[in-house]
Amino acid sequence: MGLVYHVKPISYEQTKPYILGIHYAQRMPNVMHAFGLFEGAELVGIVTYGMPASPWLCKGICGEQHRKEVLELNRLCLKNNKPNEASRLVAASLKQLPQPRIVVSYADTAHKHTGYVYQACNFLFTGTTKPRTDMAAKDGKHSRHHTGDRGNRVARSAKHRYVIFLGNKRNRKEYRAALNYPVLPYPKN
């Protein structure tokens, strides 16, 4: 008989080896909620949620009246990436978040991510962002806000945007009616 998986809250410190050592972005996002996937006693994956970096995104999803309810699933990282681990972790963590909430997440097309984990968890697909450029920091990577070099730009890839509504039936219906993006068929590779 195999080990049993379970998902529970973890500390910010417990996320660091995964985010800084395994995740392709290798930088810490805003983390308000963090959950770990445990196989027996071993931490084998993490997912984090925080305030989106863009205040416009918070307003843009479902309007000004719901901007404070928006969270971004901003990191998902697995040690072994076994089948169904990602969807198991995301689905169980969503149930443990404070509710009602609107959760948005992105699948980076530059890393060949389609967002199948979000599709498996019944997120709504609301389109793909346009590629653009950002100011670069001294190290040549993306800069945070106004701290970069305006003359040095780095490309930002297109990302598939997914949204899910958490709460009771009334909350979910209200969010869906306020959604400012069309719900589209899921993209496939």
Residue 173's domain is classified under what CATH number? 3.40.630.30
Question: Where is pLDDT greater, at 149 or 177?
Answer: 177
In a domain, 116, yes or no: yes
CA-to-CA separations, 62 to 6, 49, 70, 93, 158, in angstroms, rounded: 32, 18, 9, 22, 21
What average pLDDT does range 37-45 have in this prediction? 96
pLDDT of residue 156: 63
Q: pLDDT tens digit string along 119-138? A: 999 999 999 987 666 666 55
The sheet carrying 5-9 orders its strands as 5-9, 33-39, 42-50, 70-78, 101-108, 159-166, 124-128
pLDDT of residue 147: 54
| pTM for this predicted structure | 0.86
What average pLDDT does range 102-130 have in this prediction? 91
Domain, as residue range, for 29? 5-178
- Percentage of the chain exceeding pLDDT 90: 70
If 0-12 CB within 10 Å is exposed, 13-18 middle and 19+ buried, where does residue 60 land? middle
pLDDT of residue 98: 97
Please determine, for residue 109, whether its predicted confidence score (pLDDT) is greater than 90.
no
pLDDT of residue 140: 53
CA 65 to chain CA centroid, Å, is 22
In a domain, 24, yes or no: yes
- What is the count of structural domains for the chain? 1
In a domain, 186, yes or no: no
In a domain, 183, yes or no: no
Please determine, for residue 179, whether its predicted confidence score (pLDDT) is greater than 90.
yes
Strands 101-108 and 159-166: antiparallel
In a domain, 33, yes or no: yes
Q: Which residue has the tokens 């980076």?
A: 108
In a domain, 166, yes or no: yes
What average pLDDT does range 25-37 have in this prediction? 94
DSSP annotation of 31 reads: -
In a domain, 188, yes or no: no
What average pLDDT does range 89-115 have in this prediction? 92
Please determine, for residue 143, whether its predicted confidence score (pLDDT) is greater than 50.
no
Q: pLDDT tens digit string along 1-29? A: 466 899 999 999 999 999 999 888 888 99
In a domain, 37, yes or no: yes
Of 48-62, 123-137, 152-166, the range with the lowest mean pLDDT is 123-137
